[in-house]
Chain A
Amino acid sequence: MHELSVCQSMLRQVEEIAQREQATSVERIVIQIGPLSGVVPELLQQAFTIARCGTRAESAELVTQTQPVRVHCLQCGYDSDAQANRLLCAECGDYRTRLISGDELLLASVELTKN
């Protein structure tokens, strides 16, 4: 389960920010995940409850914002919603599309408490 590795990496980033800002604790971590990132939000949440122990984020809330899968058609230029395993243009049906959203795996923001 690679979600644990992803989670540990995230917590090291958060820890670094907390230290830089001289914060005593982390209240909230907001991340953005697309269905095509390869990371499952539920598994990440599970991993988080284990991995946060002993860090400044021990009592933090992990908020995941799921990003929509969207494609840009290289044939007709239309932008449309799509599914993770069906990335076709909704307008003309062509498969020559480019992903414009849906593979995000981002630390969006953190909320910290100082003293």
Chain B
Amino acid sequence: MCDTCGCNVTHGNRHLIEEGGKHAHTSDDHVAIEVLENLLSENDHQAAHNREHFERHGVLAINLMSSPGSGKTRLLERTIDHLKERYKIGVIEGDLETENDAQRIRDKGVPAVQITTGTACHLDAHMIHQALHQTPLDELDLLFIENVGNLVCPASFDLGQHLNVTLLSVTEGDDKPAKYPVIFRAADHVLITKSDLLPLLDDFDPDNAGQALQQLAYKNPITLVSAKSDQGMDEWLNWLEAQQQQQNRQQSKGAGSIQTCL
């Protein structure tokens, strides 16, 4: 699929396919082959398949990423409190070491699947696919995926999600976006979390964080939230609902067919 669609052709590599062609023979027993495929094409194909699962079931999938302890689980708990009367929510938990986070979600009366296989630094599309087959997708409107607490590795692996949310807590540095551009650039919404602690801290300025994001050509929303005081919670929830409705509208336009599962 990706050999033909040209999706990987950029400024930098165009010349490789224009000159020489696909097979440039150097000698009889020695052959050079142009490939131009994503290094993670296996993962990308699985991610595309996961996305078909979501779309077929009309589920909006949201991937939460942050450093360890920035407040992903607590934000989810609070989000569930606010939305569970109106939306059917499910969670896939990427805390690979313990069942704690999954249990916190289940205590809220929401199904949570714990991912238990794989390396400890990020989730990939195959792990999500396994978890999907234990998730009651038919019954869900919103599926949150809590990625492993890590600002580097999760950014490289598409899971098939529709949206990325990156959290930055006020107890971290406001220059984090400049240090980890890949993960912040990937965000559809940046949440500056634990805002209730701001009065206690003199070295985190939300404006600085906003500027660091702007330097990354970041154009999406930035919201200051607290899962403790509920500050900013309305903005976050309104955004979620708007995304969910948009997904619904696109869904009713064209329902796709799904290929057989692996």
A residues at B contact (CB < 8 Å): 1-2, 4-6, 9-10, 12-13, 17, 21, 23, 27-28, 31-32, 34, 36-39, 67-68, 70-71, 84-88, 95-101, 103-115
Contacts and interface: CB of A to CB of B under 8 A. Distances in A.
Contacts, number: 140
Nearest to A89: B217
Nearest to B26: A111
Contact of B182 (A9, A17, A37, A114): A37
B35 A67 contact: no
Nearest to A6: B39
Nearest to A40: B152
Interface string B211-229: 0101111110000000000
Contact of B122 (A2, A23, A97, A112): A2
B33 A109 contact: yes
Given A85-B181, A113-B30, A114-B29, A100 B10 contact: yes
B178 A85 contact: yes
12 contacts: A2-B121, A5-B157, A6-B156, A12-B42, A32-B12, A32-B13, A38-B156, A71-B217, A87-B217, A88-B217, A97-B217, A108-B16
B155 A23 contact: no
Q: Is the interface of A mostly helix, strand, loop or mixed?
A: mixed
Given A2-B152, A111-B30, A104 B177 contact: no
Nearest to B9: A106
B43 interface: yes
B156 A13 contact: no
A87 B219 CA distance: 12
A108 B14 CA distance: 11
Nearest to B42: A9
Interface in B18-43: 26, 28-43
